[in-house]
């Protein structure tokens, strides 16, 4: 069974079409990357999966259930999204932020229980933010803050994690640290991961399957080796590139 199945999806802002006739499938436990130039529709796709924007046409299924028939709370139990720009409430602590992740799991009259506390602690430990739990977000470095957001996303206990360019504001060490963490969570918890990444080498390394968007359409999909060919890179980015293809790693070098 597919964890995520997108069928003939079209997305638009007002009457401006942004994504057209998109079909894609992601199996449970897969980690996939979406690549493509600016404005090719990547963020819009993630937002539609999280129910933030409604399709102009087509359907999105999570475990074969049509998300247009799920209420928003039910969907939030299944899908966690980290947007490109997270609006950070600066004066709350890491622990408070992570608690927010539990809200989709609670009924309005329920308080937090020891089981919630355990999940929250676990999420902070997995992301190495437990020691930071009493610090407010404004006092953290960009990388620490990013980890706190991941902890919140994990506390939600989602089936699918959506990350929109999560490494943009991170230095190289924190980029690697973040991607390794996501990789580990994917392997250990079998959470399905969809990453939007600009860095093709990172996309190839951390996504075992790639979707390449161009002008709102799915241009290519497959393994990094299948998608990241000089020809495709020329078509998608208008860039001449050489590919170094090692068994363990694919590297794209723009000429
Ligand atoms: N809220 C919005 N209202 C109107 N148009 C929008 C809105 N958000 C995005 N768009 C437009 O939709 C198109 C696709 O945007 P989207 O953000 O999905 O691209 P992207 O592939 O994520 O680009 P980037 O790599 O720059 O993040 C762009 O032309 C953009 O200008
Ligand atoms: Mg985007």
List of domains in the chain: 2-254 (3.40.50.300)
CA of 11 to the centre of ligand 2 (A): 14
Q: Is 181 exposed, middle or buried (0-12, 13-18, 19+ CB in 10 A)?
A: middle
Cβ–Cβ under 8 Å, residues 99 and 148: no
Nearest ligand 1 atom to alpha carbon 165 = 27
Token digits of residue 65:
């259930």
Residue 139 CA, ligand 1 centroid: distance in Å: 31
pLDDT of 158-184, one tens digit each? 999 999 998 877 888 888 888 998 999
pLDDT by residue, tens only, the chain of 255 residues: 899 999 999 999 999 999 999 999 999 999 999 999 999 999 999 999 999 999 999 999 999 999 999 998 899 999 999 987 766 677 899 999 999 888 887 776 677 778 889 999 999 998 889 999 999 999 998 888 888 998 999 999 999 999 999 887 788 888 888 899 899 989 988 999 999 999 999 999 998 899 999 999 999 999 999 999 999 999 999 999 999 998 888 999 999
Query: What is the reported pLDDT for 174?
Result: 82
Burial class for 82, CB neighbours closer than 10 Å (0-12, 13-18, 19+): buried
Determine which residue's CA is closest to atom 26 belonging to ligand 1.
Answer: 38
CB 68 within 8 A of CB 53: no
Distance between CA 237 and CA 214 in Å, rounded?
A: 9
| For ligand 1, atom 16: residue with the closest CA | 41
> Which ligand lies nearest to the CA atom of residue 38 in the structure?
1
Enter the pTM of the model.
0.92
Residues with a CB atom less than 6 Å from ligand 1: 13, 18, 36, 38-44, 84
């Amino acid at each position: 069974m597919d964890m995520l199945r997108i069928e003939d999806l079209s997305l638009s802002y007002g009457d401006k079409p942004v994504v057209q006739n998109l079909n894609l499938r992601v199996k449970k436990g897969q980690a996939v990357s979406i690549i493509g130039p600016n404005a090719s529709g990547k963020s819009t796709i993630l937002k539609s999966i999280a129910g933030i924007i409604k399709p102009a046409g087509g359907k999105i299924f999570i475990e074969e259930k049509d998300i247009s028939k799920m209420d928003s709370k039910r969907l939030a139990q299944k899908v966690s999204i980290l947007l490109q720009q997270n609006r950070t409430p600066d004066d709350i602590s890491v622990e408070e932020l992570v608690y927010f992740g539990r809200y989709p799991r609670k009924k309005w009259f329920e308080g937090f229980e020891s089981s919630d506390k355990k999940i929250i602690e676990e999420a902070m430990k997995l992301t190495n933010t437990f020691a930071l739990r009493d610090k407010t977000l404004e006092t953290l470095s960009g990388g620490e803050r990013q980890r706190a957001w991941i902890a919140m996303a994990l506390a939600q206990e989602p089936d699918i994690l959506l990350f929109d360019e999560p490494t943009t504001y991170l230095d190289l060490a924190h980029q690697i640290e973040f991607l390794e963490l996501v990789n580990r969570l994917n392997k250990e918890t079998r959470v399905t991961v969809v990453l939007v990444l600009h860095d093709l080498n990172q996309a190839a390394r951390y996504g075992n399957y790639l979707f390449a968007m161009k002008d709102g359409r799915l241009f290519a999909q497959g393994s990094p080796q299948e998608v990241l060919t000089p020809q495709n890179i020329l078509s998608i980015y208008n860039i001449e590139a050489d590919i170094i293809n090692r068994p363990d790693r694919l590297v794209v070098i723009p000429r």
